[in-house]
Amino acid sequence: MRFPDLPEDVERDAHACLQCGYCNFVCPIQLDPDHGFESYRVRGKMYHLKQYAHPGLFARLSGNRARISPEFVERVYNCTACGYCQVACHVEIKFNDRWEQVKEWFVKNGIGPLDRHSALRTRVIAKHNPYDEPHETRADWIPKTAKISKNPEILYFAGCTASYRQQKIAQDATKVLDAAGVEYGILGGDEWCCGSPLIRTGQTDIVTDEKDGLVHHNINEVEKRGAKTLLTACAGCFMTLSHNYPKYAGRQSFEIFHMTQFIDRLILEKRLVLKKPLPKKVAYHDPCHIGRHFGIYEEPRRILNAFPDSHYLELPRNRENSQCCGAGGGYKIQFNDRAEYIASLRVQEARDIGAEMLVSACPFCVTNLTGGAKKAGIDMPVAELVSLVAESV
């Protein structure tokens, strides 16, 4: 079946692809031996798109045209949005946006997303979170002891994972802000899903809708309070709020910081002093959505170095070359076993350098790496950096 033309950027980049294959050695999907063959590879998918957009002479004469099959759609959704192919690409294809454009094109033409991604859509519309939890309980994580200010310039955006699944991380974030004497507020029950799992799976219509869309709702809530700064500990929320929101809303009326950036600044300004050493020998895992996507590499490391009498261990694959935990891009939601397999390899990497604990800076990475440790049968606690900081202030 023929669908309307590919988005212009995608078609242009499919042509630009050299078929050189440097991207083949970095994609986390290939770490699973069952999903390492060409149709799962970035190079294979780009060739398929190129042939679909502009078949060669033989294909045109013979009528053997490339088609967009359900199998091909499934291959494209085998992606964690880790951004490694963009780093590796020898013609600098902007894959971070391109894969999302391809998925958006699938959705517009009724051939995407995959079944579990569609369920996300239903849940987010009904309950404003992808976990099918009641919206009324969204703010239940907020500790009674949190020193919430009235009309503060700074707001904390917890995100769905920390609000419903990793509540300690959100609670620890308030503990850190309180320890530093920061005046802040919390969106709490007025916060909706940032839209990350929908955007990464091509379901952008309900995110961007001018009336009921998540983008406009969340921005309006921040602007209504006159806040100037939004903080989040979630790497997925950070990427969505920083990269997608200004694009969709056409404006940027407040600053956005990831908690690692903000804590780093508090430590540099001596407003926050870490008093206790790290609890164990920790290795730091770079979340893709703050690392490769935004270059936030040194802030978390400076925080780890600020713990007294301790140092952290560097994983062999780090910073730009960090290995994805396997959770992002809607991959874990659709392919949980495969996502945890990828995470298990990262846990093994940490064990092999003698780490006793893996630390990251994203609630979703913490969840998947914890699953990966279990899958690998390795006793490796996984912590959020903000929680280690909270234990040390």
Q: Which residues bind ligand SF4 (CB under 6 A)?
A: 17-23, 26-29, 42-43, 46, 79-85, 88-91, 93, 95, 99
Which DSSP helix (H) or strand (E) runs through 76?
A: helix 70-76
Give min distance, CB of 339 to ligand SF4, in A.
Answer: 11
Spell out the alpha helix ranges (H) of 250-383.
259-268, 298-305, 331-334, 336-352, 363-376
Q: Counting Cβ atoms within 10 Å, is residue 377 exposed (0-12), middle (13-18) or buried (19+)?
A: exposed
Q: Please identify, using beta-carbon distances, which residue of 317 and 351 lies nearer to ligand SF4.
A: 317
184: phi then psi, degrees, rounded to nearest 5: -145, 165
Give min distance, CB of 152 to ligand SF4, in A.
Answer: 36
Nearby residues of 57 by Cβ (< 8 Å), 6 or more positions away: none
Give min distance, CB of 181 to ligand SF4, in A.
Answer: 40
Helix/strand/coil for 312: coil
Dist CA 348 CA 205 (whole Å): 39
Dist CA 34 CA 69 (whole Å): 20
Q: Please identify, using beta-carbon distances, which residue of 89 and 388 lies nearer to ligand SF4.
A: 89
Q: Please identify, using beta-carbon distances, which residue of 46 and 214 lies nearer to ligand SF4.
A: 46
Q: Please identify, using beta-carbon distances, which residue of 79 and 357 lies nearer to ligand SF4.
A: 79
Q: Please identify, using beta-carbon distances, which residue of 23 and 259 lies nearer to ligand SF4.
A: 23
235: phi > 0 → left, psi -120 to 50 → alpha, else beta; which?
alpha
Give min distance, CB of 22 to ligand SF4, in A.
Answer: 4
3-state DSSP helix/strand/coil % of the chain, to nearest 5: 55, 5, 40
Give min distance, CB of 320 to ligand SF4, in A.
Answer: 12
Give min distance, CB of 225 to ligand SF4, in A.
Answer: 35
Give min distance, CB of 39 to ligand SF4, in A.
Answer: 12
Specify the residue for token string 């694959």: 317
Q: How many CB atoms lie within 10 A of CB 157?
A: 24
Give min distance, CB of 104 to ligand SF4, in A.
Answer: 15
Specify the residue for token string 């495969």: 338
Q: Please identify, using beta-carbon distances, which residue of 99 and 284 lies nearer to ligand SF4.
A: 99
Q: Please identify, using beta-carbon distances, which residue of 46 and 303 lies nearer to ligand SF4.
A: 46
The candidate with the shortest Cα–Cα distance to 322, out of 345, 354, 352, is: 345
Dist CA 17 CA 93 (whole Å): 8
Q: Please identify, using beta-carbon distances, which residue of 93 and 176 lies nearer to ligand SF4.
A: 93
Helix/strand/coil for 42: helix
Specify the residue for token string 């780890």: 304
Q: Please identify, using beta-carbon distances, which residue of 227 and 342 lies nearer to ligand SF4.
A: 342
- CA 312 from chain centre, in angstroms, equals 23
Give min distance, CB of 300 to ligand SF4, in A.
Answer: 21
Nearby residues of 118 by Cβ (< 8 Å), 6 or more positions away: none
Dist CA 145 CA 147 (whole Å): 6
Specify the residue for token string 């031996």: 33
Q: Please identify, using beta-carbon distances, which residue of 81 and 388 lies nearer to ligand SF4.
A: 81
Give min distance, CB of 144 to ligand SF4, in A.
Answer: 41
Cis preceding linkage at 277, omega within 30: no
